[in-house]
Each structure stands twice: as structure tokens, then as C-alpha cells.
Chains A and B, each alone.
Chain A
Amino acid sequence: MSDDTFGSIAHRASLRSGDRVRVVASIVAALLFLFPVFWMVLTSFKLQKDIFTSPPTFIFTPTLENYVSYLQRSTIPHQMLNTVVVAFASGIISIVAGTMAGYALARLRIRGAGFLGVLILMSRGVPPIALAVPMFLVGRAFGLIDSHIILILAYCTFLIPYVMWLMRGFFKALPKELEESAMLDGCNRFGAFFKIIVPISVPGLLSTLIFCVILAWEELLFAIVLTNRVASTVPVAIVNIAGDTVNGANWGALTAVGTMTVIPVVVFALLVQKWLIQGLADGATKG
């Protein structure tokens, strides 16, 4: 990965007028996309009676009540922890398995591998609802209902194809000489993969991991079907608030939960942002 791959057409010391237009336009686009997020955060500081005023209010007495009452729900910290465990565990397992498969598809010419790859990709076409019930039956047969492991494995089924396809493209972009020289130096195939290929792919791996974590983080259907209490996650808590058949949806509480579930992922993403773009560029271009 040489430096000039990253050279962009706009790599200039000062902005030209065309670039200035683009900067302004990109800021406008970002503001438009962030407005609903802003509205969510704003609502989370409102009392119920201020949320549904006509016309909408910008000036109101902010309250932390929504956050406080949310955190006081006894199940929430536990569900938060479960979400972190399940999202990262399924992300990491999917990265390991998906990356190896992606490498096999990109580099190791196996008879029928291309077909297998397409088949795995297409397994994402099965409507998730159809899978939830039989997966519950499998989990029940093995006594795994309401355990982290069943949820992690279920998430792996839709993350692995995604990782595999992305990493396949990423590996295809690497020069072949890399592992050839490593194998000449006495490494076997695994040595070459783990010592040479994986280290230079860390940015791509981390970026893929972020997307996996985001997808697993907000997954709802399998979380509802496969868990009851012990392994229950935050998205379940969110629908419990939204579908309140006693009080009606409490939008103050909902937006507070929404805001709080966004924060950890955004912080995590910011930390690895640099690698993210890089990894996506290489992984996705050849997909």
C-alpha cells in the first residue's frame, strides 16, 4: 500500500474555488443528514408535554429526567453489557472466519470456490424472519436459548458473508508477490497469511469490524426470539419502551436511549476512522 494510492485529486495546499464549493456543499449535506439526529438529541432533553407542541419548540426547560429514568430501569445496564459482548464477539468471530474465507476465495484457487462464494453471498437473501423460528428450535434442542453464544452464532451467519465478500476484494488488491516471497522464505500457507497478509490488512479488518459491530448492535428480531432475560440486548429494551401498551410511546425516554446507544459506537468508530476509510476503499473497490 504505497502512499500514492491515497493521493487524491484534491491534494493541494490551498483550496481552489471549485473545491470551496464542494466543502460548503458537503457541510450542507452533513447538516441535512444530521438534522434528525439533532432532533433526536433535542427531544431527549424535553418533557413529554414539550415534545408534542404545535408549533414545535426550540426553547424549553431542558430536563435530564429521560436519561435518569432510563438508567434507573434495572435491566438496562445488564442489557447494555450484553449488547457490547454480543456485538463484539460476533464481530470478531465473523472477522476471523470471514477473512480466512475471503482469502481463500481471492487467492487459493479451490475448485468451485467462486460458486461457493456466490452461494454464501446469496445466503443473505433468505428473509431473516424465516430463519428465526428454526434457529430457535435448534437453540432449544441444544439448550442454548437465552445464552450469548446462540445470539453470537446467529449474528455470525449474516456477518460472515458480508466480511467474506469485502475482504475478498481487499485481498485481490494486494500484490501476489507478498505471500510468494514469504513462502519462498519457508513460511507455509498459514504462516504467510497470518504473518504477512493479516498485518498489512489491519485497517481493512478494523473497518469491516466496525460495520459488523454496527449491524449486530442494532439487531432486533433474533434478539427477541432467541433471548429472554440473561442475554437480552438494548434493542429489545428500546422496543419495549416504544411498544408501551399502557402509557403510549414515551418519546423522551426513547430518544434518550437512542442517543445513548449511538454514543459508544460513534466513539469506537472515531477511534479507528482512519483505518476505516482505507479498509473500505481497498475491500470494496474490487468486490
Chain B
Amino acid sequence: MMRNYRNFGSISRRAVMVGGAAAVATRAFGAQGSSALGTPESPVQLRVISDAAYGIAWQASMVPEFNKLYPNIKVTIDPVPYAELLAKIMLDATASQPTYDVIIVDDPWTPQVARTGALLDIRKETAAWTDPGYDWDDFNAAPLEATQWNGVQYGVPLRSNMLLMFVNKTLYKKAGLPEPTPDLTWDQYLEQAPKLVQDTNGDGTIDAWAIDTYFKRDALTPTIWQAILNANGGSLLDKNNKPAFNNEIGVKALKTHIALLKYAPPGGVSHGYSEALQSFRQGQVATSFMWGSVYRNSAVDPKTTTLKPEEVGLQVMPVGSAMAGAHRGIASGTIHAKSPNKQAAWGLLQWFSSKQGEKWHSNALGGFPARKSTLASTPESEWLSPVFKALQQGYDTIEKGKMWRLRHPKSDAVQQVLADAVAAAISGQATAEAALQEAAVKVEKILR
């Protein structure tokens, strides 16, 4: 008792020094006693599995920050390459004694992992340890829904992301075109695109193009098509879980995606995430449909980009016949149902997704928040203000148009089929109609 009390005192002192998050830490601590959250003599060992892309940065800077509040929870984040992450999660999570307490899942993965019974009902089971100020309703619906399945909340959004339109304002100016606004329609966009393929230095060769984005064979390439499909009022499946994309709207969206290739840099057909990012950062393309999270490395950090924040606009993708476009990609934190360290795991996830945690994350690492209050606040860095505005716009659009990948235990198998179809159509190996027809047959078979 004595030891616990002493421990409690030292923590809260440190927490006060850290700042606003003190309340969360002390309350959680005071309510439950410290053994579930570790003691200096026997700290809790928390194992986390995550995409290497942010897992490495989290280990380096998020964990030390977290340990200022919870010094007795030792967090080890194992970074895994994205391509193998889902399979690794499935293999480990289904063990009788799984290695990982905390599993960071990508947007479409919750049903696949939850179906094996591996995930904790995070909202219900952690209620006793949740700070009253945590405020679940503060989350935007879109990011929170990423880890809902069959009415259960399995996770909290940690690193929100969405496909948005990046704009190189300098190239628009050079082409004599007005800067795009969120009201820009696809028709306007495609009408302006030829003018954005230009020779900027007057040496007689084209050196700037209108667009670079996902064109190559990749599981994420269909997300561009899906964003256009959703913006035109289409959807992947109908109410009975039957393919609904094999129609005029789907074909038109795919043809729009294909049309973009005409205004892309040479070799665009083999471009994906890294290549599109590169050409945007080099100032070679006027627009890019890209994950918003790359904003910092594309507009702010002089080590990685040639552009400056004032040159780079960020907004929702062009407006289709129904609404603007976007596409959700949320990395969420979930807890394994068999974890012996559930309270400590929730300590980590609760802090990281709390108002304070989100603020720290966006200011220190440029991570995107999911909470309305964070997005409405004034960020420390000036460049984040317009980004926050675009994000709020994006969330609203996403929620309205249900712009996400399939939420189903077989969603990745479906995504792979769509990737094949879209790639075949973009590379000209099949017509848009034939590619979608074939995909529809396969998707129906998978979902049966």
C-alpha cells in the first residue's frame, strides 16, 4: 500500500510537469492501484505489432513521451513491413498465448482479425479504466467506425489518414489557372489538366505534368477509382452484399482514373505511392491524389521536398455527380482479447488517442487527429491549420459517401481482385467494362 502510494505521488508530480495529460494518468492510476500498470520493481511489458512506417517513429518518440506519464509500462513496438503485416497479425493473434498485447490494424482489417475472436470489445471492457474526460463522442464518426464491426467497437483511431488532393499552387499559377477550391468538379479538373502539362522553363521540353497518383498494379490503386466511384454516388456493394460497381457509374469512374494517365509524367502507368510522392515533391506535377499524412514530408520538411508549405494546397478530391471525393485509411489500436496486460494496453491507447495524446502526436510527428476538438483547435505549427481544415472536410465527405474499403472478413481478398481489375484496365490489357465485369464475378464468388 505504502509503496503504491509513494509511486502514485511521484508519477503525478512528473505528470504535472509534462502538462495537460496529468488528469488522465492520475485518475486511471488512482482508481485501479498501480500493479496492473506496473511498479518500478516489476514493470509491465507491453508488446505492440505495427506497420514499420510509423512503428519505428513511435518507438523512438511516442514511447518516451508516454513513459513520462506511465514510467512502469515498458512498450516494445515490433515494426513489420506493411505488405506482410496482416498475415503476421493473423498468425500471432490466433495463438493460445499471443505475443502481442496491442495490435495496430489498418482500415479494412478489423473484421478479418475480429472474426477470429482475437480482439477485445474495447469500449465495453475498458470502461472501468477510462477517464471520464476521454469523450468517445468527440471522435469524428468516420475514423471511429474503422474499427467497428457487427456493432462492437474494437479499437481507437491512432493515425488517421485519407486520400486527398494535393495541389502545387505554383504550377497552377504558371499555367494561368485559378487555384482549385473544394468545389472543383471532375469535369473542370479534366478540362484544366491539358494546360497543366507544360514547359515551365521555356527550353522547349515538357517538364511539368498535371497529375501523379496510383496507377500501377497495387492493392491501393483501386482506392482512387473507389473515391471517384463514391463521388459519383456509386458504391462497391449493394445492400445484399452483391457487387454494385459493375455498372455505368463504375465504368465511368474507372475511365476517369484511366484518363488521368494522359496527363501524368512519362512512365506513369508504373507509378504508385513512392513514385507519385516523388514527382510531387520534385515539383513535377500540379496535383496528386495522395494520402494526407504525407503533407509534412511533401510540403514542410526541406530534407525530403523541394516545395514549401505556402505552395502546397490540400483539399478533398474533385466533386463528382454526387459529392466531393476522399477515401479513408485509419490505423487503429486494438487490444488482444487474451492479453494479460489489458489495463496497461488501454493506458497506452487511451493516452495516445486522448485529446492530449492527439495534440502531442500532431505537433511532434505530424500525425493526423481523429477528434473534432483537436481539429478545431489551433495547432502549434502554422502549416497544420489548413491541413486540419482539409481533414475535417474530408471526414465529413467520407462519412457522407461511405468512402472506405470493404468491411468484411474477406475484404483484402476483394481488394486484391479489384487491384487486378483496375490494373488491367489502366494498362490497357482489358477494357474498363470487361475488367469490372470479371471483377464483379470474382467478388461475388468470394463473398458467397
Name B54's closest neighbour in chain A (CB-CB): A246
Asked if residues B53 and A244 are in contact (CB atoms below 8 Å), the reply is: yes
> On chain A, which size bracket covers the interface?
20 to 34
Main secondary structure of the interface of A (DSSP, over half): loop
Checking A145, A224, A242 against B80 with a beta-carbon cut-off of 8 angstroms, the contacting residue is A224
Checking A73, A245, A247 against B304 with a beta-carbon cut-off of 8 angstroms, the contacting residue is A247
Q: Given A48-B304, A243-B83, does the pair A229, B53 have CB atoms closer than 8 Å?
A: no
A236 interface residue per 8 A CB criterion: yes
Asked if residues B79 and A240 are in contact (CB atoms below 8 Å), the reply is: yes
A228 interface residue per 8 A CB criterion: yes
Asked if residues A243 and B52 are in contact (CB atoms below 8 Å), the reply is: yes
Residues 241 to 274 of chain A near chain B (Cβ within 8 Å): 242-249
Checking A229, A245, A247 against B82 with a beta-carbon cut-off of 8 angstroms, the contacting residue is A245
Q: Which of B15-23, B149-157, B242-250, B274-282 is found at the contact surface with chain A?
A: B274-282
> On chain B, which size bracket covers the interface?
35 or more
Q: Given A136-B91, A225-B91, A228-B99, does the pair A245, B306 have CB atoms closer than 8 Å?
A: no
Contact with A along B270-295 (1 / 0, CB 8 A): 00011001110010000000010110
Asked if residues B78 and A246 are in contact (CB atoms below 8 Å), the reply is: no
A249 to B99, CA, bound (A): 29
Asked if residues A246 and B273 are in contact (CB atoms below 8 Å), the reply is: no
CB distance from A276 to the nearest CB of B (A): 33
Checking B81, B87, B294 against A247 with a beta-carbon cut-off of 8 angstroms, the contacting residue is B294
Main secondary structure of the interface of B (DSSP, over half): helix
Asked if residues B294 and A240 are in contact (CB atoms below 8 Å), the reply is: no
Asked if residues B91 and A246 are in contact (CB atoms below 8 Å), the reply is: no
A245 to B88, CA, bound (A): 17
Contact with B along A104-139 (1 / 0, CB 8 A): 000000000000000000000000000001001000
Checking B76, B81, B278, B293 against A246 with a beta-carbon cut-off of 8 angstroms, the contacting residue is B293
A190 interface residue per 8 A CB criterion: no
Asked if residues B52 and A240 are in contact (CB atoms below 8 Å), the reply is: yes
Q: Which residues of B contact A236 (CB under 8 A)?
A: 81
Residues 220 to 241 of chain A near chain B (Cβ within 8 Å): 224-225, 228-229, 236, 239-240
Asked if residues A243 and B297 are in contact (CB atoms below 8 Å), the reply is: no
Chain B interfacial positions (CB closer than 8 Å to A): 49, 51-54, 56-57, 60, 76, 78-84, 87-88, 91, 95, 99, 207, 273-274, 277-279, 282, 291, 293-294, 297, 303-304, 306
24 contacts between A and B (CB under 8 A): A48-B304, A49-B282, A52-B279, A73-B56, A145-B99, A146-B99, A224-B80, A224-B81, A224-B88, A225-B88, A225-B91, A229-B76, A229-B78, A236-B81, A239-B81, A240-B79, A244-B53, A245-B51, A245-B53, A246-B53, A246-B54, A247-B53, A247-B294, A247-B304
